[in-house]
Structure 1
Amino acid sequence: MKEIDKNRTFQKRKQRREYFEASLMKMGMELEAARSVVDEKLLFVKVHMPWDMLCTYAEVLHIKMPIQPNDLCTTSSPFNFLSCITKHFYPSEDLIAKETEYFTAPFEKDRLEYFYVKDRDLFFTPSMRSRMAYYILSRAPYEVRGNIKKFGVTKLLDGGVYKAAYPLHDVSDECPNERYLLYNEWAHPKSFYKMQPLDLIRKYYGEKIGIYFAWLGFYTAMLALAAIVGLGCFIYGYTTQETSTWSKEVCDPLIGGNIVMCPQCDKECTYWRLNSTCESSKKLCIFDNYGTLVFAVFMAIWVTVFLEFWKRYQAELEYEWDTVEFLEQEEQPRPEYEAKCNHERINPVTRIVLILASVVAIIVYRLAVFFSFSTRLQSDLKELEPFKEYVTAQMATSVTASVISFVVIMVLNILYERVAIWITDFELPRTKTDYENSLTLKMFLFQFVNYYSSCFYIAFAKGKVVGYPGQPVYLLGKYRNEECDPGGCLIELTTQLTVIMGGKAIWNNIQEVLWMKNLIFRYCTRVGSEKVIPRWEQDYQLQPIGKLGLFYEYLEMVIQFGFVTLFVASFPLAPVLALVNNLFEIRVDAWKIITQFRRMVPEKAQDIGAWQPILQGVAILAVASNAMIIAFTSDMIPRLVYYWSFSVYPYGDHSSHTMQGYINNTLSVFDIQDFSNKKIFHAVSLSYFRYRDFRYPPGHHRQYEYSIYYWHVIAAKMAFIIVVEHIVYLTKFVLSYVIPDVPYTVREQIKREKYLSQVILHETNLKLSGIIPKAQIA
């Protein structure tokens, strides 16, 4: 029975294949079959498009072609005098000549003589040819039953009729071809310092691939400025850590050494002296200083400038690459949609509820996992190391918790990806574009929760509601709420960000190295066979690009963008790490796409799609996030309040402001006798401990309640957030208004091009009819 079913499937596939290939030949395609030299059971069908067919479908797809060279004067750059230096950072013009600028118009076959045709073989670029071929392949019928017509190579691939369909790469051994040039001037490690040949990338792979690498290159270039400022901020903090007043007071044996701090848990913890946190206090000063405040404001403005200038650059590319008036061709429904649309109809409200419920559930689950293992790890370390210095155990806990958190993130990535795909499949989007946009939003939301939830927890939740030593806060009446490390939550947040960003970069590089197996496999195949393997079979041995294309590359960079902007107030080195990673990322992605992947079907694209509003949303959130980190996670505001309000000497001279006594002022007093469990402290000779908070001392009529200083600090924090957000958002608004999305020169070129298109391609009808002579048409 199984043999009969197998034969029926084979015959059905054969019939569909024969009908499909016959349809292609009726439409004007030329087909050529070639047997595999490695596997005799494998047959390749090569598809060719003759010139006449290319012209026909160029008109059908409204492809813009050159009509005359650009005759508008271009403004010379004021930095032209540096060309003798900058030319070394561009691809060699001897190999990749600069593209000539043309005015273009939608191609019309009947007016071919008015288009700028030098060489028919070079008139249509390789990406145009591949796009036209795929357009035909996606519309050729393979089965007709009555009034129902089934068509499209995508459905044949899903049904197993064909194993693969892909455009061919250029033969890599022929040095003049475009693939060879891209490899040598773009993907090769020796060219890591050179600018990307975007026009050639677009010409070979299409606009959708070109716009990704244009965005990645622009983002990396903008990171250079942020990295310089962030590195300067880090150097400033590093050089001043020994001279800061509060770190010196902590390390002073007469000040910090005489301050005994309360235990931070109920049973295993013991008291500790403040000067035991000397090293962590110095490390904190590296990241928690006035330079960090300036850098956080700078990054809030930087992200606005980045997005605004990217819009301008994107507008230039839209004009140069002829996507200004690009209209998406009507997309065919996905095979999954056609298979189910007659049986299912998803309510839009149901979709929204399902997405929101999934996101909320993942947030709760993610925070529960992080809180559970960090609390248990802290307790276990104290039990295993009871005689070690308390702060050392705290630091070990912080680092270990960050490492385990990263491992959990990597594991949950797999789960969240499957959940996002499952929900998107359940929604049943009609077209590929709808599917990608829907998946993009959900995948980013899930990854946002996965990567950032632990950082948000440390920054805004941990140590914020802990009560005081005599009356700690318990969760579920059992688990004592976590307190920050003795050095503060900011150093924990910095540790968490360092481990996650560094670990993610290392993991991604390990995955990139795994692509070497593809290279080794092809080398072994070539060595083991004396036959010459043709180009199409070599390409078949390459990896398929996948249905989602560069989706995961975009996702990786956008997640990195979140780390660079959302938490930069606690980690000024984030732009530096991102810059170094991206310099490798561009070349590794280029190497993969040229040598390891089959050539992708070129696609048109005006912009980066659904990622653009996501970047804008992250940029808006980053302003509030960094303002709140400075206000609630760092000690910046308490220091400023103390400096300007509580540290003036009696004579009131402005120069009398000082930070001396700040540490003592930020520590409250707790009477040992007020502990509920006094047995633990029976051997302590002191009568009181200190703890980080602003509360009235024992004996006061409002003992252990928040002091007036606490409310001053809270008011200052809220005022800081409001003022900074308004200043930054106002600056963002002004910059958005001042920097136009479309440059003036591009607007003028678009107008000139429209005029020429109207004159040359429409008023020629008057010439053809003899109404006006040819000389009058300018």
Structure 2
Amino acid sequence: MFPLHERTALENLRRKWVKTFFSPQPLGIIWLGTANESWKDIAYVLFSLFNVLWACVYLETWKRYSNVLAYRWGTLDQRDDLLVEPRPLFQGEMSTSPVTGRPEPQYAAWRRRVWRHCVSVPLMLLCLSVAAAATFALLRAQDWWESKIMYLTWIPRALLAIMIAVEEEVYARIARWLNDKENYRLETKYENHLIVKISLFQFVNSFMSLFYIAFYLQDMDKLKEQLAVLLITRQVIGNLKESALPYLIENLRLAKMCVDVFGALSPTKAPTSTQLTDMFDKKTDSASESPENSIVNGGAEKPKDEKKETESPVGQKVIHQAELESQLFKYEGTFAEYLEMLTQLGHVVLFSSAFPLAALCALLNNAAEVRADAFKLCHVAQRPFGDRVNSIGSWQHAMEAIVGVAVLVNCALIGLSGPVHRLLPDATPAQTVLVIVALEHVILVVVLALRLAIPEIPAWLATEMAKVEFQRREAIKNAHAPLMVSIHQPQGVYC
């Protein structure tokens, strides 16, 4: 009697062990295991469920904290939509507003719906299909590369990450153009519809390759490698694109300006302002010594023009602050940052059970991202305009949707990756499916219970809001009291 080879494991060893010369020895694969490893399966299941529950609690606590910040900054109570001014790029025929009585642009809602259903939706579906086809083609090329070329297997994965970044940039331009054509009146409505368009494409573009590997190939090792390469490559490309590249372009612009103004790459190569001032003082001193440019009053000589002390030197070239800051990049808002956080949350909670270090990579990236954003705002971008909001808007709903999908994905991965079969070896396939479905329903109920149990507004904040409302009503009552007294006083009769 002798043991038979496992064909899949044997082919893997032939490819990664026999045909490679510089790879480490696969001691973790070829050793004979006899210990009970059920604790790994239990840890796998618990870690997957912990990620989902953590994400739910995190989003709910953030919602509470954002309400605290909105109250502190005075933006918790928003005005009615009809009282909000239209966004600057809103187009329409001028007519009198029924609310304010002032002339405002008006745009028929049916025209927006026609454009959305006849142009936006078909074009979005086309872009999603192209992205899916390109991702599938590159994944097939990746399989061919790994089967034919044993070296540099990371190259196809890096190319996939670069292709995803390029597709995101192209689709973002298309989505903004479609959103502009839909012509929304309010800035919040404009951003909400743009979030829906880009988030949907981002989900397909960023996670389709991972779904393909997890549920079609069912290769957990390859899923781990793919997730690690995508996550790290996107983080590196994102930081370079947001901070390093704009900073380099900004320095090139400033160098060109210095060449145009001073004739050198740096103002220090040209005559400095101090040197020009000294030259000007010498000229004025020699001019003031001449008889025609001085007067005698009580034995003291005074310059004929006393304003020369405050005048700038003749011919001095100065670059003003507005000219310098005009070379900086315009701050495009927080849309890209929120989109990056949404994608990162998906990588952490959807497939992190296959790559547990995804959370650590995300934490390190966020620590660097804070410093990169500070550098961008202080050195690279123009000063942004303020915008009063009471929350992160539709991004909150998009992240909550990611958590809901994560429940389904993690439960499916638990069923496909083998922990259930090893923990319940006597279970039939039908019983395994029932266990996974029951687990998924339990987790969904727990997530819903957590959302209901954690109030959006803390108790102390609700008390403070009630105090403010009471004081407002008392102030209105006191302001109207003299008027009410004068109305109810008896009027005297004069004969």
TM (norm. structure 1) is 0.47
Which residue number in structure 2 is paired with residue 572 of structure 1? Answer: 356
After TM superposition, give the deviation of residue 540 of structure 1 in Å: 3.0
Which residue number in structure 2 is paired with residue 515 of structure 1? Answer: 246
Mark the CA change 1:377 to 1:582 in structure 2 (over 3 Å): closer, same or farther: closer
Which residue number in structure 2 is paired with residue 527 of structure 1? Answer: 267
- Structure 2: segments with no counterpart, 5+ residues: 19-24, 32-36, 94-104, 259-265, 274-316, 487-495
Which aligned pairs between 1:279-428 and structure 2 lie closer than 5 A?
281=29, 289-327=41-79, 329-332=83-86, 334-335=88-89, 337-338=91-92, 346=111, 348=113, 351-352=116-117, 354-379=119-144, 382-383=147-148, 393=150, 397=153, 399-428=154-183
Distance 1:306 1:409 in 2: 28
Structure 2 residue identity aligned to 1:324: L
Mark the CA change 1:519 to 1:415 in structure 2 (over 3 Å): closer, same or farther: closer
After TM superposition, give the deviation of residue 541 of structure 1 in Å: 3.4
Preserved CA contact (<8 Å) 1:262 1:272 = no
Preserved CA contact (<8 Å) 1:301 1:732 = yes
After TM superposition, give the deviation of residue 412 of structure 1 in Å: 1.6
Which residue number in structure 2 is paired with residue 543 of structure 1? Answer: 329
Structure 2 residue identity aligned to 1:640: L
Distance 1:567 1:513 in 2: 30
After TM superposition, give the deviation of residue 439 of structure 1 in Å: 1.3
After TM superposition, give the deviation of residue 584 of structure 1 in Å: 1.3
- Structure 1: segments with no counterpart, 5+ residues: 1-253, 386-392, 464-488, 646-711, 772-778
After TM superposition, give the deviation of residue 380 of structure 1 in Å: 5.0
Which residue number in structure 1 is paired with residue 401 of structure 2? Answer: 617
* Identical-pair percentage: 26
Structure 2 residue identity aligned to 1:332: P
Which residue number in structure 2 is paired with residue 503 of structure 1? Answer: 233
Preserved CA contact (<8 Å) 1:260 1:271 = no
Which residue number in structure 2 is paired with residue 638 of structure 1? Answer: 421
Which residue number in structure 1 is paired with residue 343 of structure 2? Answer: 559
User: After alignment, is 502-511 or 365-374 more displaced?
Assistant: 365-374
Question: Which string of whole-angstrom CA distances, capped at 9 and with x for unpartnered residues, describes residues 715-771 of structure 1?
Answer: 244223222222212222222222211111001111111222233455145469997
Mark the CA change 1:288 to 1:421 in structure 2 (over 3 Å): closer, same or farther: farther
| Residue in structure 2 matching 1:753, options 468, 473, 491 | 468
Higher relative contact order (CA 8 A, sep 6+): 2
Which aligned pairs between 1:152-301 and structure 2 lie closer than 5 A?
255=3, 258-259=4-5, 261=7, 278=26, 281=29, 289-301=41-53
2:190 counterpart of 1:435: yes
Distance 1:624 1:363 in 2: 22
Preserved CA contact (<8 Å) 1:295 1:569 = yes
Mark the CA change 1:755 to 1:564 in structure 2 (over 3 Å): closer, same or farther: same
After TM superposition, give the deviation of residue 621 of structure 1 in Å: 0.7
Question: Which string of whole-angstrom CA distances, capped at 9 and with x for unpartnered residues, describes residues 14-72 of structure 1?
Answer: xxxxxxxxxxxxxxxxxxxxxxxxxxxxxxxxxxxxxxxxxxxxxxxxxxxxxxxxxxx
Structure 2 residue identity aligned to 1:505: Q
User: After alignment, is 438-447 or 423-432 more displaced?
Assistant: 423-432
Distance 2:64 2:362 in 1: 23
How many positions carry a matched residue from both structures?
Answer: 405
After TM superposition, give the deviation of residue 589 of structure 1 in Å: 1.1
Distance 1:262 1:325 in 2: 61
Distance 2:17 2:421 in 1: 20
After TM superposition, give the deviation of residue 601 of structure 1 in Å: 1.9
> Residue 332 of structure 1: SS of its match in structure 2?
coil
Distance 1:744 1:428 in 2: 40
Structure 2 residue identity aligned to 1:423: L
Question: Which string of whole-angstrom CA distances, capped at 9 and with x for unpartnered residues, describes residues 142-161 of structure 1?
Answer: xxxxxxxxxxxxxxxxxxxx
Preserved CA contact (<8 Å) 1:351 1:427 = yes
Give the root-mean-square deviation of aligned CA atoms. Answer: 3.7
Which residue number in structure 2 is paired with residue 168 of structure 1? Answer: none
Structure with a larger share of its residues in helix: 2
